[in-house]
Structure 1
Amino acid sequence: MSDHMPSQDSETLDTLRQRIDRLDQDILNLISERARCAQDVANVKLAENPDAIFYRPEREAGVLRRIMELNQGPLSNEEMARLFREIMSSCLALEQPVRVAYLGPEGTFTEQAALKHFGGSAVHVSTNAIDEVFREVEAGATHYGVVPVENSTEGIVSHTLDSFMAASPSLKINGEVVLRIHQHLLVSERTRRDQISRIYSHSQSLAQCRKWLDAHYPHAERIAVSSNAEAARLVKSEWHSAAIAGDMAAKRYGLERVAEKIEDQPDNSTRFLIIGTHDVPPSGDDKTSIVAAMRNKPGVLHDLLEPFQRHGIDMTRLESRPSRNGAWSYVFFIDFKGHQNDEKVRAALDEAQACAAELKVLGSYPVGVL
C-alpha cells in the first residue's frame, strides 16, 4: 500500500472527528437557544413582578433529577448533572447574577461547596466568619449564603447552630450540599520537607487526620487556624511548615502535595446548608429542619419526638445545644424527610409546637442532588 494512501483506521478516525464537530455545533446551538429562553423567562418574571425571585431551588433540583433519570451513559449520572449545573448557572446569570456569601478565605471547602451548588457563574463573596455569612444574607448584601453544618467524622459545626439560634426569622434554609472531603499535606517551594516542625489547618481538619499525623509527624506542632485556606496561605511564607487542606486551596496558593487523601476515614464528607430569605416550595424530595426550645421537665424529648414517630416521619438528624435562656435548658435541632406543606408533616409540627416552649421551622428544601 502506498505511504500516501489513507488507511481504513485513519478514515474512520476522520469520520468520527467530523461527527464530533457536527455534534459540537448542535450542542452549541442548543445551549444558545436555552440561554435565550432563560432571558425570555427573566423578562416575563420582571413584567409580572419587579421583585421576582430568579433562582428557584426546587426547580433546579427537579431539572437535575430528571437529567439523571434520563441519562443513559457512558457519562455517570453525577458527571452529567455537573455539566447541566454549569449550563444552568450560566443561563441564570443572564437572568440575574446570584451573589453567594461563603466562609472564606478563597480556597476553603465552603467555597468548593458553593461552586458545586451554584456553579461558576455565580458571584462568590468571601467572609471571615460563619455569623458574617448570616449577616450578609440578612442584610441583603448577598442573595444566599453557604455554611458548614456537620462532618461525618467530627460531627456538628457548633458555630452554625449557634448562628441559627440567633438568626432573624426571615432567614431560611434553602438547600443542602454534601461534599466529599479529601485532605492533603501541602508544602510550598520554600519548604524544607525534612525539617517540618509545624502543621497548620482548621481544627476539624486536624482532627480528621489525627491518626495519620500521629504516624507520620508525631513531633510536629499542630496549629489550628480559621480555615484550611488560611493554613495554605501561611505556608507560602515559612520554610519549616506544612498545611492540611484540599485541592482548591492547593491550586489557589500554588502548593504541592506531599501526601494525598490523609483523612483517617475514607468516607469523610461535610454537609453544608444554603441559607436565603424566602420559603422554598415542594420539589418532591425534600427535607425540613426545625429548632425547638423545650421546657425543663422530665420526658420533654419524648414528647417532642412522639408526634413525628406516630405520623411516620423519618428523622435524619437530632442535635442538642444548651439554651441561652436558662441553666439546664436545651434547644434541639431536628432534620426530617418531608416538606412543611405536607399534610402529615404539618400535623406533626402542630402537635410538637404544643409541647415546646418555642418551635421554629428553619426551612424546607430539596434533598441535595449533587
Structure 2
Amino acid sequence: MDDELYSKLLPLRNLIDELDRKILETLNRRSEIVVEIGKIKHSVNLDDSVIKPERESQIIEKLQRINTGPFQTSAIEHVWKEIISACRDLERSMQVAYLGPKGSFSEQAAFEHFGRSVNNVQCTSFDEVFHAIESGRADVGMVPIENSIEGAVNRSLDLFLNSNLKIIGERSLIIKHCLLTKSGNMNGIKKITAHPQALAQCQEWLNKHYPNLERVSTSSNSEAAHIASKSEDFAAIAGMIAAESWGLRPVYSNIQDDINNRTRFLAIGNIESSPSGNDKTSLILAVPNKACAVYEMLKPFAIHKVSMTRFESRPARTGQWEYYFYVDIIGHQKETNVSRALELIKTQVAFFKNLGSYPAQ
C-alpha cells in the first residue's frame, strides 16, 4: 500500500476502532442493566421465563423504524437477535429443542429466532421436541409447520392437538437444498438420502439427473448428512449448514424444484406472549356435523373484521370423516375485535383450542 493511500485510510480505521470501543462499552452497559433486571425479577419471584417474545419483537421493530441508514434495515434483526440472546444468557441460560442432529434447517431456524447464545437440545423426532419442553428438559423449541411446496408438516399439526404448549413465534426460511458427498463428486455413489419432505421437494431434479439411484428416507436432512459423512456410498440432500457441520462438499447447489421453496417454523414453549402490535393467533377448531357448520364457524371472523392467513384441515381419526381445522388469524387474542370473534366462535364449534398469540414475522 502506498503512503498516500495509507494516510487516507489510517484516520478512518482509527475512527472505526474508536466506534467499536464505544459499541462494546454500550453493550456492556446494556448487559449490566439486564443483570439488574434479572435480580429484581428474582427478588419478587416474578415470572422465571427469560424470553419475552413481544418485548424482543418491539425492540427490533422500533430500531428498524427509526433507522436512517446506511446500515441496512434488514441487518438489524440479525444483529439484535444476537445481542438480545447474549444478554438473555446473562440472566439464565436457555435450552432450545429442535430436530437434530447438528446442521438441520430446524437448527438454523432456532438460531435465527433465538440467537446462538443458547444451549442446544437436539432431538430425534418432532415428538421428542414437544416432550423435551413439556418435561422441562428444554425451555422452548422449534418445529416446522408448513412448506411452500409440500404443504403442512402433518406430524407437527397432530402434536399441537394434544399438547398444552403455546406458539410463541414464527420463522420463515428460504430452503436451498444441496447434493452433498464426502468427495464433492458422485463417483461410487449408490444411494441418495434425505428427509421425505426434502426428497419430495427435489423430486423433478432427481428424476432428471439421477433416476436410477436408490432414494433412502431418514429422520432429518442433518441425519442424512451424518450418514453421508461416514459412507462413500451415500449422497445427502441437505443445506450448507449441514455440509459445514459434517464436513461434506456440495456436488450441486439449489437442487430444489421451486426456487421460492420456503419452510415456516414455529417457536413453542410454556409462555403467554403479550400483544406486540403485530401479532398472529393460531387456533384448532372442529364443527358439529350439520349443514353450513364451516360457514358458521368462519362467520364471526367476517363480523368482527378479523383476517385469516391460513386454513388447514386434518382428519380427526374417528372413522366418521370428521376434521380438525387449523386456522391462523391476524391479531392478538387480547385485541377487542379478535376477542369478540373468538368468543362467538366458541358458541358455534364442537371443539376449540387456542394455540397462542405471538409476534408475526
Q: TM bucket by the smaller chain? A: over 0.9
CA contact (8 A) 2:49 2:271 kept: no
- Partner of residue 250 from structure 2, selected from 257, 272, 275: 257
Counterpart residue number, 1:334: 327
Alignment of 1:215-254 (within 5 A): 215-254=208-247
Query: How much has 1:98 moved relative to structure 2?
Result: 1.1
Alignment of 1:163-174 (within 5 A): 163-168=159-164, 171-174=165-168
* Alpha-carbon displacement from aligned partner over 1:13-52 (angstroms, at most 9, x marks no partner): 1111111111111111111111111111111111222543
Counterpart residue number, 1:304: 297
> Is 1:94 aligned with 2:87?
no
Counterpart residue number, 2:144: 148
Query: What amino acid does structure 1 have at the position aligned with 2:12?
Result: L
Q: Distance in 1 between matches of 2:71 and 2:103?
A: 28
* Alpha-carbon displacement from aligned partner over 1:49-104 (angstroms, at most 9, x marks no partner): 25432210000001111121122333322222201110110000001111111111
Query: How much has 1:130 moved relative to structure 2?
Result: 0.7
Counterpart residue number, 1:78: 74
Query: What amino acid does structure 2 have at the position aligned with 1:179?
Result: L
Counterpart residue number, 1:208: 201
Query: What amino acid does structure 1 have at the position aligned with 2:206?
Result: L
> Is 1:185 aligned with 2:189?
no
Counterpart residue number, 1:16: 12
Query: How much has 1:265 moved relative to structure 2?
Result: 1.0
Counterpart residue number, 1:103: 99
CA contact (8 A) 2:182 2:247 kept: yes
TM-score (norm 2): 0.96
Q: Distance in 2 between matches of 1:337 and 1:152?
A: 20
3-state DSSP class of the match of 1:182? coil
3-state DSSP class of the match of 1:97? coil
Change (3 A) 1:34 1:175: same
Quote the sequence identity (%): 42
Counterpart residue number, 1:347: 340
Q: How many residues align?
A: 361
CA contact (8 A) 1:229 1:245 kept: yes
Q: Distance in 2 between matches of 1:362 and 1:326?
A: 25
Counterpart residue number, 1:175: 169
Query: How much has 1:159 moved relative to structure 2?
Result: 0.2
Q: Distance in 1 between matches of 2:225 and 2:146?
A: 22
Q: Distance in 2 between matches of 1:86 and 1:146?
A: 17
Query: How much has 1:319 moved relative to structure 2?
Result: 0.6
Counterpart residue number, 2:118: 122
Query: What amino acid does structure 1 have at the position aligned with 2:75?
Result: E
Where does the alignment leave 5 or more consecutive residues of structure 2 unmatched?
A: none
CA contact (8 A) 1:192 1:239 kept: no
Q: Distance in 1 between matches of 2:189 and 2:68?
A: 49
3-state DSSP class of the match of 1:297? coil
Counterpart residue number, 2:64: 68
Alignment of 1:286-305 (within 5 A): 286-305=279-298
* Alpha-carbon displacement from aligned partner over 1:137-164 (angstroms, at most 9, x marks no partner): 1122211111110011110000001101
Q: Distance in 1 between matches of 2:6 and 2:123?
A: 54
CA contact (8 A) 1:192 1:240 kept: no
* RMSD of aligned residue pairs (Cα, Å): 1.5
Query: How much has 1:363 moved relative to structure 2?
Result: 0.3
TM-score (norm 1): 0.94
CA contact (8 A) 2:224 2:238 kept: yes
Query: What amino acid does structure 2 have at the position aligned with 1:365?
Result: Y
CA contact (8 A) 2:171 2:265 kept: yes
CA contact (8 A) 2:190 2:213 kept: yes
- Partner of residue 161 from structure 1, selected from 157, 165, 174: 157
> Is 1:357 aligned with 2:350?
yes
Q: Distance in 1 between matches of 2:36 and 2:61?
A: 24
Query: How much has 1:192 moved relative to structure 2?
Result: 6.1
Counterpart residue number, 1:132: 128
